[in-house]
Structure 1
Amino acid sequence: MHGLERSVYLSTEYKRHGNFFDCYSDAEATDTEDEEWSGPSTFSFSSARVIPIETEELTPSEPPTTDEDTKVENSVEDEPIESQFGPIGSQTHRYVSQHMGGPLREHVADEPSYFYLLTTYISYMILTTFGHVRDFFGKRFKPDKYKDYKERDGYAALNSDYDNFYFRRLKKRMDDCFSRPITGVPGRYITLMDRISHDYWTTFSFTGTLTETLNLSSYNYLGFAQSSGPCADDVEETISTYGISSASSRLEAGTSDLAVEVECEIANFVGKEDAMVFSMGFSTNATSFPGLMGPGCLIISDELNHASIRIGARLSGAVIRSYKHNDMEDLEKLLRREISQGQPKTHKAWRKILVVCEGLFSMEGTLADLPGLIRLRKKYKFYLFIDEAHSIGALGPRGRGICDYFSISPSEVDILMGTLTKSFGANGGYIAASSSIIQKLRITNAAMKYGESPAPPVLMQILSSLRQITSTSAGLERLQRITFNSRYLRLGLKRLGFIVYGHDDSPVIPVILYHPGKLPAFSREMLKRGISVVIAGYPATPLLTARVRFCVSAAHNKEDMDRVLRACDEIGDLLDLKFSTGSMGGIDPLPEGVMLADIVDDSSDGARKVEPPRWKLEDVLTHGVQDALRQLR
């Protein structure tokens, strides 16, 4: 079925059965005395395009007729290509992603006044207190609602009321902002399936309409999430040749000529001898560390590394230590202590030491201090593992990741890992390293032995997008567009007065909101203006730094970024979110001819006084392009 046709069918079934993969139930089955709470579909969308769905009776036993199928197909074909990949407004809206020399600029976390910190704590305290009060009385007056959290018929409760307290009493208040169902291609625009709740976000039912919104939520860095074009054509041809599934693991019958070709292309792309691909990015990390490390080994991990790294490290049986985020001084102290003390109890020398770091941190928007890591690697002789899940394709003048960005030879890094979901429009992951390491992993990695081989259409999507990046001018334009969009939006948000984390060239742009109540409010207000965003709070982030995370894409253009800035300016005033002090920097352009590497200590410049940035929106839009193309102080 085509995307719109599928939506017609599903929406009708939702109305008939009130069920969505056993996760949603019909609101009419709930207590009719409950006050009706409406989801985002009840908002008055000023910028979003609401698409009504025709609800003719379609059942599994009565599929669409040929005429209906043709009608839907034509409507899909008539949809503008710009909804998936926007046209560039000017050739000046491009920027080469490359470090300009010198040490990596330290990321300074701007801090708000104590008033905002105190009120954030108070907000959590109020929510927690009221939650416990509701549980206290609920267990006594409505025990049926808590029966699944207690021992029953001799069976222990799988989840106690304490274990899931946060999800029931805090997250549930904003559940309409998570897991919003979509349909179609998550490109420049994304289409949401509108839903409504009658029982305070406990269950949802669908309204039968769709809402098209600007997509700032998907990891579509290079804009390859497209249903037409060279990649889609190659994938369609591959399906007719190879089918849909490999139907086997890699060690059995799942190693096709297409898989071998993809691995060779990836190895050449990242500058390594060999590579191996996986069908899932998360399992790439989770299953590779046990094959690399074991008892008697030491894994040193950045404190903000992804959960897949943490899980894989635990499965390996190695001793795990962590260092402060991107702090090379703390890492060196840790290395000196662990090398001198050796293994616990026995104090024998470590069999191996592996330092693990992400190239681009997905929740912080910060880049790894790769030059600092290389310096320590040469001094202390440890192995270096870089997770390029978010940096491959998004960083570097050739899109080849963090090594390309810093002009460092990939041979300086022992193991390069990456995912194929974000920048390549596919799914899965890869490990690239020397031939000896890859050959060992092919034998010891559990995902290679027991996991499904990547599907042929996915492999072709990877191969086709790699060829686009390396061999076409359109691929080069994608690399430069995402960097310009990232710098332009980040600069604009900083000048408006928001606290923004991360480095200038990062396509991940976190804006700190602090108060838990402002998380859903920001998401809903953006949706009113036709923009989809991702919000994140505790436990995904530290308690105090709840945030909205903008994910920029090459599919966006300047007009899209202007639209986001206008919406943020309005919502920032509405929710009182503009509390930056300006200490984070990256706001003012450097004088002509002066490079950031030439400034030894910018804080010693007595003539420059740091003031809270509160630019007018008109000034932000007027000066944004020319300043985003320059080095920033």
Structure 2
Amino acid sequence: MPSPIAINPVSPSQSIFKKTSKSPSNLPASAASYLSAVSQADAHARARSLANVVTPTSTPALSMSSSVTVLSEDSILREGEVKMYDNDDGLSYPRVPPTSEQSFTTAHSEFGHCANEEYRFTSQHPVGKPAPHQEEQDPPYYILLSTYISFMILICLGHLRDFIGKRLKPSAYTHLQPHDGWAPLNSDFDSFYIRRLKVRLDDCFSFPVTGVPGRTIICYDRDTHDYNVTLHTTGRRTRGLNISSYNYLGFAQARGGCADAVVESISRYGLSSCGARLEAGSLDLHQTAERLVAQFVGQEDSVISSMGFATNSTIIPALVGKGCLVISDEFNHASIRFGVRLSGASVRTFKHNNVKSLEDLLREVISQGQPKTHRPWKKILVIVEGLYSMEGSMVNLPKVLELKEKYKFYLFVDEAHSIGALGPHGRGVTDYFGVNPLSVDVLMGTFTKSFGAAGGYVAGKKSLIDLIRVKGHSGPYAEAMPPPVLTQVIASMASIMGVASEPLKTANDVTSTALASYPGPAPVHMLPSWLDLPPLLKDGSEGQVRLRRLAFNSRYLSRGLKKLGFITYGSDDSPIVPLMLFNPGKMCVFSRMMRQRATPIFIVVVAYPATPLVTSRVRFCLSAAHTKDDIDLILTACDEIGDWLDLKQGSGERWPLQQIMDRAVELVHMDMD
């Protein structure tokens, strides 16, 4: 077993996240000045080494070794980045700048620079090949036994503390007991888990952050003097590698073409849409966004909502009601469950991602009909998710569509996590499996994960969307999406699609052209006339690079963890990679050890009730903003911490860490079925 020092091989003084001693002077005032500084630094570097000119093909690792020396001539570039992109917090990155052949327009802290074309992959399932069955591996019995014992100890100690505390310090339990004629405000039993289990992990949750949640993130340090009952900030801030945000395509940026478009929309429309809506009920940007979304997902029409959770919870009641049946995957999101409950429809669940369980349930409900009367159901709606956020598993869409054709039910696919993240064109699970998107009755998705915005959408046939506009609660009652958010949606989505140079002949051709050109570029007619994207965004090349980088990062981390011996769930192509911890005590230790490394890594740990009791896990969220070196850093940290916490319980062939990093490209492309 390695020594404790091995966990932090680089001392904090060597970390890249250091404070600058003085305020930067002579700062670049614009993106053009920034690129000019890049060229100047490149010229100085080339002058020093004319005999050995090598263009870097990947990003320097975040954890810098003592052999890396930063040239003093590069200080203007680094200090300029601090001022322009890091909110003037005094944090800088001692890295070698990109050369003139790599004209990057993003801050390295927000989007990692990587020009190596080998670190790319296309997210696509081979057409005609059955989708692989995603089996969840169980740990050894002693791991499960120790997990149950850990929960038993925590529960026993919690009840003992409550028993003694209610007698020695009754004032601390006033809100849980009747007093002065008042009923208790909180349930003693319901709040037990929070008071006696979750509070022990509160330092791992809800970290206050500042700035852009891109490749790296800045968190405010917190401390506690009462065992996590209260947490207070210390005034210090820590920048670390961000592997915890839903930023799949890296559009969470403060600089770039999309950000410039948002600034332009603010100057034209203002920050809020309140009081600025047209008589028809929405701004022109709302109509533009809805047409573009329909074009993007390959449906006839779409309607957008200002909140992702409300998209499901307010739209589902417009689709089903009393006398209808909803068949839901057991791991569907809470917004789906809430929407079904509001609708008044009957609901049945089937085993997660189990097509046989779904078919058996369909046979039963169709043959039996409605309870008591046994009349046929007015409507049967099957609701699944394209990509499940806690499991990283993907719906077996081709098999579900076969059942749809056989049993004649309606299909609702929630693509909150799959849209923009899966498929060679980023169109979600229909694009990934190469099926016609019109074969799905309702496609729902959000803008918060892949597009760096907020809100959600529902797309389908025009007659269905017209009905939702009338009966859905989010239309008449919810606030409209503000123009800056709409512009971010339009700009990022157009960047993925690319923009066609030829405008449409007539406005009536919008729908037919959208369906005929799927998954083609966005017609220029659909975009605001004032929207001027940079060339790399306009032609869709940068969007394709982001999609392929995300696919590479997802497969590399997932397969790298498996080769190290960890138990992971989900698909290899999923940008969500759950690493199983099982024991609740290992959650806080894993999170704290990742934060305390020389290069801090911020992660998300998940436990009951979000997951089953004994399947606590780390949930890595990959992004196109991460580089291959960032994934190497994560694998290195997991390898060291995994040995300490006895987490390597997976089966299959194991590779040493260095072999995984050296053969990353081969590992991503190999067939592991």
**Cα displacement (A) at 1:52:** 9.0
Does the CA contact (< 8 Å) of 1:89 and 1:557 recur in 2?
no
**Cα displacement (A) at 1:53:** 12
Q: Does 1:269 align with 2:296?
A: yes
Mapping 1:267-306, distance limit 5 Å: 267-306=294-333
Specify the alignment match of 2:663 in structure 1. Answer: 623
**Cα displacement (A) at 1:72:** 6.5
Does the CA contact (< 8 Å) of 1:485 and 1:554 recur in 2?
yes
Aligned to 1:153, what secondary structure does the other structure show? coil
Specify the alignment match of 2:601 in structure 1. Answer: 531
**Cα displacement (A) at 1:327:** 0.7
Does the CA contact (< 8 Å) of 1:279 and 1:453 recur in 2?
yes
Q: 1:569 pairs with 606, 623, 639, which one?
A: 639
Specify the alignment match of 2:649 in structure 1. Answer: 579
Partners of 2:183 and 2:310 in 1: CA distance: 31
Change beyond 3 A, Cα 1:201–1:75 = closer
Partners of 2:623 and 2:83 in 1: CA distance: 29
Specify the alignment match of 2:465 in structure 1. Answer: 438
Residue type at the aligned position of 1:361:
Y
Q: Summarize deviations over 1:45-68 as a string: whole Å, max 9, x none.
A: 9757265999xxxxxxxxxxxxxx
Partners of 2:159 and 2:280 in 1: CA distance: 55
Q: 1:93 pairs with 119, 140, 165, which one?
A: 119
Q: 1:522 pairs with 565, 583, 590, which one?
A: 590
**Cα displacement (A) at 1:153:** 2.7
Specify the alignment match of 1:9 in structure 2. Answer: none
Q: Summarize deviations over 1:295-316 as a string: whole Å, max 9, x none.
A: 0000000011101001001110
Specify the alignment match of 2:534 in structure 1. Answer: none
Partners of 1:381 and 1:95 in 2: CA distance: 36
Partners of 2:557 and 2:188 in 1: CA distance: 42
Q: Summarize deviations over 1:274-301 as a string: whole Å, max 9, x none.
A: 0011110000000011100000000000
Aligned to 1:346, what secondary structure does the other structure show? coil
Partners of 1:50 and 1:439 in 2: CA distance: 55
Structure 2: unaligned runs, 5 residues or longer: 1-10, 23-81, 94-106, 499-539
Change beyond 3 A, Cα 1:424–1:218 = same
Q: Does 1:557 align with 2:627?
A: yes
Q: 1:370 pairs with 380, 397, 405, which one?
A: 397
Partners of 2:21 and 2:245 in 1: CA distance: 24
Q: Does 1:411 align with 2:430?
A: no
Does the CA contact (< 8 Å) of 2:566 and 2:650 recur in 1?
yes
Specify the alignment match of 1:217 in structure 2. Answer: 244
Q: Percent identity?
A: 54
Mapping 1:390-539, distance limit 5 Å: 390-471=417-498, 472-529=540-597, 530-539=600-609
Does the CA contact (< 8 Å) of 1:51 and 1:209 recur in 2?
no
**Cα displacement (A) at 1:630:** 2.7
Partners of 1:486 and 1:257 in 2: CA distance: 37
Residue type at the aligned position of 2:120:
R
Does the CA contact (< 8 Å) of 1:244 and 1:457 recur in 2?
yes
Q: Summarize deviations over 1:322-370 as a string: whole Å, max 9, x none.
A: 0001111110110010000000011000000000000000000011000
- Number of aligned residues: 545
Partners of 2:474 and 2:279 in 1: CA distance: 12
Q: Which runs of 4+ in 1 moved over 3 A?
A: 43-48, 50-54, 71-80, 248-254
Residue type at the aligned position of 1:85:
F
Moved more, 499-508 or 154-163: 154-163
**Cα displacement (A) at 1:257:** 0.2
Does the CA contact (< 8 Å) of 2:660 and 2:667 recur in 1?
no
Residue type at the aligned position of 1:525:
M
Partners of 2:668 and 2:384 in 1: CA distance: 28
Residue type at the aligned position of 1:524:
R
Partners of 1:393 and 1:341 in 2: CA distance: 40
Aligned to 1:513, what secondary structure does the other structure show? strand
Aligned to 2:584, what secondary structure does the other structure show? coil
Does the CA contact (< 8 Å) of 1:188 and 1:215 recur in 2?
yes
Aligned to 1:373, what secondary structure does the other structure show? helix
Residue type at the aligned position of 1:291:
A
Mapping 1:106-125, distance limit 5 Å: 106-125=133-152
Partners of 1:74 and 1:113 in 2: CA distance: 47
Partners of 2:577 and 2:413 in 1: CA distance: 21
Change beyond 3 A, Cα 1:395–1:74 = closer
Mapping 1:64-75, distance limit 5 Å: none
Does the CA contact (< 8 Å) of 1:50 and 1:210 recur in 2?
no
**Cα displacement (A) at 1:195:** 1.3
Residue type at the aligned position of 2:595:
L
Partners of 1:74 and 1:384 in 2: CA distance: 44
Change beyond 3 A, Cα 1:448–1:557 = same
Partners of 1:202 and 1:44 in 2: CA distance: 29
Question: Which TM-score applies when normalising by structure 1?
Answer: 0.84
**Cα displacement (A) at 1:110:** 1.0
Specify the alignment match of 2:202 in structure 1. Answer: 175
Does the CA contact (< 8 Å) of 1:97 and 1:395 recur in 2?
yes
**Cα displacement (A) at 1:73:** 6.4
RMSD over aligned Cα atoms: 2.0
Q: Summarize deviations over 1:458-516 as a string: whole Å, max 9, x none.
A: 00000000111011201100000000000011111000000010111110000000000
Change beyond 3 A, Cα 1:83–1:446 = same
Specify the alignment match of 1:22 in structure 2. Answer: none
**Cα displacement (A) at 1:152:** 2.5
Q: Does 1:381 align with 2:421?
A: no
**Cα displacement (A) at 1:158:** 2.3
Partners of 1:371 and 1:448 in 2: CA distance: 32
Change beyond 3 A, Cα 1:341–1:528 = same
Structure 1: unaligned runs, 5 residues or longer: 1-42, 55-70, 583-612
Aligned to 1:500, what secondary structure does the other structure show? coil
Residue type at the aligned position of 1:632:
M
Partners of 1:45 and 1:543 in 2: CA distance: 40
Aligned to 2:420, what secondary structure does the other structure show? coil
Q: Does 1:632 align with 2:658?
A: no
Q: Summarize deviations over 1:18-47 as a string: whole Å, max 9, x none.
A: xxxxxxxxxxxxxxxxxxxxxxxxx96975
Specify the alignment match of 1:83 in structure 2. Answer: 109
**Cα displacement (A) at 1:522:** 0.5
Partners of 2:140 and 2:288 in 1: CA distance: 55
**Cα displacement (A) at 1:100:** 1.5
Specify the alignment match of 2:79 in structure 1. Answer: none
Partners of 1:392 and 1:255 in 2: CA distance: 25
Aligned to 1:233, what secondary structure does the other structure show? helix
Residue type at the aligned position of 2:564:
L
Aligned to 1:510, what secondary structure does the other structure show? strand
